[in-house]
Amino acid sequence: MSPENATFMFYGFTVAWLVILIYVVSIALREKKLRQELDRVKRMVGEHEGEVKK
Amino acid sequence: MNFLRQAWAVAAKDLRSEVRSKETVNASLSFALVILLLFSFAFDPDAEQVRQISGGLLWLVFAFAGTLILNRSFARELVNDCLDALIASPATGAQIFFGKCVANYTLLVAVECVCLPIFAVFYNVKLPQRIALLFLVMLLGTWGITVIGTLFSAMTVNLRLRELMLPTLIYPMLIPALIGAIQLSTVLLGNDPLGTENQIWFRLLVVFDLIFTALALTLVEIVLVG
Amino acid sequence: MRLKIIVALSVLSGLILAWNLHTIFLKIPDELNQGAIFRIIYFHVPAAITSFTGFFVAMFCGVGYLVKGDLKLDAAAAGITEVSLAFATITLITGSIWGRIIWGLWWTWDPRLTSYFVCWLMYVGYLMLRNAIDEPNTRARMSAVLSIFACIDIVIVWKSIEWWRTQHPGPVLSIRSGGGMAPGMEAPLWYNLIALLMLSAVLILIRMRQQSMQREIDSLRRYAHAF
């Protein structure tokens, strides 16, 4: 079998893992952004409630 | 009976409005002519090549021109909250949908009837002997395009990127109907014998139309009203 | 509890995948006709099966939303479709690489590739539609209807393209992979499938949790602006 055969096999596996990795990283980034947004909004609600109580 | 009466009321309204303004049909027809022109540059086909691609060429033109008509279908109701008024009317979602389907279908078939002789002239195609069968294929294929296009027009009517989303969503879905229509049209335009293997395409078109009409009528209430 | 499930499934699927890689590369010999490239099937087929399973399950989740009105079902449908689309992308690319070696072509309009590509396009459209609608209930309704249409269409598209290609055979015949594999060689395929299904379950659960976080953010924002 030509050496190209084995090379392409590695490309294939690399691509499969790369796509999964990229997807997982994008999910992780989204998670970070969502957490920051959630904290920000919770703080905003806390401030508003503080003002109302005054 | 009431179903048809209500649907016809909606269809008549759309058709009347279109006959008065002629904006959609003109745009659609002009676009079809432009595509025919562009294809002549893209492929510059000789007689034998035209024979092979005639069905494909014709149905691509119909599909692209049809999108313009289908897009306008629900978009024209956005002005002055007409869509809300329609939905609030006694007509059910299915009746409104079916009425709009009939109107779109009429307009699209009209555009196709004008395009076909022009196509024959531009590409030197002799009009086929079995023109009735070709017309039947056009009717079946166009209904498939209309049903799916009208439903997705209702779905995308409130989106910013309506004109982009509609073609993106409907073309993959229409592939079976387009394949069937293209195969049959190529055979009929080439005056080739319609063998038994081509009957499968007729069956596909009919089944496609039946399944998606039933599905659309069932689900359109959810899309329009919620 | 959910976090424990997520961690447990990830570890398990990671272990199976690692063990399979070991088997695939070290234990299984090169296939007679195809050579080394044949091993791609151990990712290609499980990814394809995972994606199809996902699309159909997502449709049922969509129908569930239409019946029950629970936005969590819509979140499940969206998460499942997204993950399935990632696996569908893997299927297309690994299939293309395999084809480059076996057929000498990066792409061919072979029935299965074409139908699969159409399927991929329909679900890209699904994600585009979801992105374009802001209101959660409208988005859930439209997505559910779209996924019902898409799933039913997948079947029709598959059969029609197969008939079309039988009449006009493409430049190469598609090799029915997986038929007549020696028993020892077939096992890693099913283990990989289980591992990928577990991996997709993990990703789906994480996505669903992110969607519920998004819903919480939206409702808190509405609450904050109500003052």
Q: Which residues in chain C have their CB less than 8 angstroms from residue B180's CB?
A: 160
The predicted structure's pLDDT at residue C175:
45
For residue C66, the chain B residue with the least C-alpha distance is: B222
Please list, in sequence order, all residues whose beta carbon lies within 8 angstroms of the beta carbon of residue B164, skipping any fewer than 6 positions away.
none
The predicted structure's pLDDT at residue C177:
47
User: Which two structure tokens, joined as six digits, stand for C168?
Assistant: 């006009």
Q: Do C227 and A20 touch (CB under 8 A)?
A: no
Q: Do B169 and C125 touch (CB under 8 A)?
A: yes
| Residue B124 pLDDT level (bands cut at 50, 70, 90) | confident
Distance from CA of A51 to the nearest CA of C (A): 10
Calpha distance B96→B88 (Å, rounded): 11
Q: Is the pLDDT of residue B105 over 90?
A: yes
Range of the domain at B166: 2-224
Selecting from C86, C206, C217 the residue whose C-beta is nearest the C-beta of A37 gives C217
**pTM summary value:** 0.88
Report whether C73 contacts C65 (CB < 8 A): yes
Mean pLDDT of C132-148: 93
pLDDT tens digits, one per residue of C44-88: 888 999 999 999 999 999 999 999 999 999 999 999 999 999 999
Calpha distance C174→B19 (Å, rounded): 51
| Residue A54 pLDDT level (bands cut at 50, 70, 90) | confident
Q: Does C22 touch chain A (CB under 8 A)?
A: no
Q: Can you give the residue ranges of every domain in chain C?
A: 13-24+36-170+183-214
The predicted structure's pLDDT at residue C84:
95
The predicted structure's pLDDT at residue C30:
66
Q: Does C210 touch chain A (CB under 8 A)?
A: yes
Q: Is the pLDDT of residue B127 over 50?
A: yes
Q: Is the pLDDT of residue C174 over 70?
A: no
Calpha distance C14→C37 (Å, rounded): 23
Q: Do A8 and C97 touch (CB under 8 A)?
A: yes
The predicted structure's pLDDT at residue C221:
86
Chains meeting A at 3+ CB pairs closer than 8 A? C
Calpha distance B103→B150 (Å, rounded): 10
The predicted structure's pLDDT at residue B18:
93
Q: Is the pLDDT of residue A47 over 70?
A: yes
Q: Which residues in chain A have their CB less than 8 angstroms from residue C101's CB?
A: 4-5, 8
Calpha distance B47→B24 (Å, rounded): 33
Tell me what percent of the residues of chain B surpass a pLDDT of 70: 100
Q: Among C142, C148, C154, pick the best mutation site for testing chain B contact (most B Cβ within 10 A).
A: C142
Q: Which range, B47-51, C5-9, C120-124, C214-218, is most confident? A: C120-124
Q: Among B53, B166, B169, B213, pick the best mutation site for testing chain C contact (most C Cβ within 10 A).
A: B169
In a 3-state reduction of DSSP, which class is residue C146?
Answer: helix
User: Which two structure tokens, joined as six digits, stand for A35?
Assistant: 């957490």
Question: What is the ipTM, given to two decimal places?
Answer: 0.89
Calpha distance C62→C53 (Å, rounded): 14
Kindly tell me the sign of the dihedral angle through the C-alpha atoms of B14, B20, B22, B25. Answer: positive
Distance from CA of C167 to the nearest CA of A (A): 32
Q: Does A9 touch chain C (CB under 8 A)?
A: yes
| Residue B46 pLDDT level (bands cut at 50, 70, 90) | confident
Q: Does C6 touch chain A (CB under 8 A)?
A: no
Chains meeting C at 3+ CB pairs closer than 8 A? A, B
Q: Do C132 and B161 touch (CB under 8 A)?
A: yes
Q: Does residue B140 or residue C183 have the better pLDDT?
A: B140
Q: Is the pLDDT of residue C178 over 60?
A: no
Q: Does residue A4 or residue C115 have the better pLDDT?
A: C115
Q: Which residues in chain B have their CB less than 8 angstroms from residue C145's CB?
A: 155, 219, 222-223
The closest of B126, B40, B30, B169 to C147, measured between CA atoms, is B169
> Which class for C58: exposed (0-12), middle (13-18), buried (19 or more C-beta within 10 A)?
buried
pLDDT tens digits, one per residue of B149-169: 999 999 999 888 888 999 999
**The total number of structural domains that make up chain B:** 1
pLDDT tens digits, one per residue of A7-45: 888 888 888 889 989 999 999 999 999 999 999 988 888
Calpha distance B209→B212 (Å, rounded): 5
Selecting from A12, A19, A27 the residue whose C-beta is nearest the C-beta of C98 gives A12
| Residue B1 pLDDT level (bands cut at 50, 70, 90) | confident
Q: Does residue A54 or residue B25 have the better pLDDT?
A: B25
Calpha distance B188→B132 (Å, rounded): 10
Numbered residues of chain B with Cβ closer than 8 Å to any chain C Cβ: 148, 151, 155-156, 158-161, 165, 168-169, 172-173, 175-176, 179-180, 183, 197, 200, 204, 207-208, 211-212, 215, 219, 222-223, 226
In a 3-state reduction of DSSP, which class is residue B128?
Answer: coil
Q: How many contacts does B have with C, using Cβ atoms within 8 A? A: 78
How much is the mean pLDDT over chain B?
Answer: 91
Q: Which residues in chain C have their CB less than 8 angstroms from residue B185's CB?
A: none
Distance from CA of B16 to the nearest CA of C (A): 30
Residue C193 identity (one-letter amino acid): L
The predicted structure's pLDDT at residue B43:
81
Q: Do C199 and A42 touch (CB under 8 A)?
A: no
In a 3-state reduction of DSSP, which class is residue C35?
Answer: strand
Residue C6 identity (one-letter amino acid): I
Angle separating helix axes B131-156 and B93-122, nearest 10 degrees? 130
Q: Is the pLDDT of residue C176 over 60?
A: no
The predicted structure's pLDDT at residue C181:
60
Q: Is the pLDDT of residue C96 over 90?
A: no
**For the stretch A17-48, what's the b/e string if a residue is b when 16 or more beta carbons lie within 10 angstroms of its beta carbon?**
eebbeebbeebeeeeeebeebeeebeebbeee
Q: Which residues in chain C have their CB less than 8 angstroms from residue A1's CB?
A: 30, 35-36
The predicted structure's pLDDT at residue C32:
62
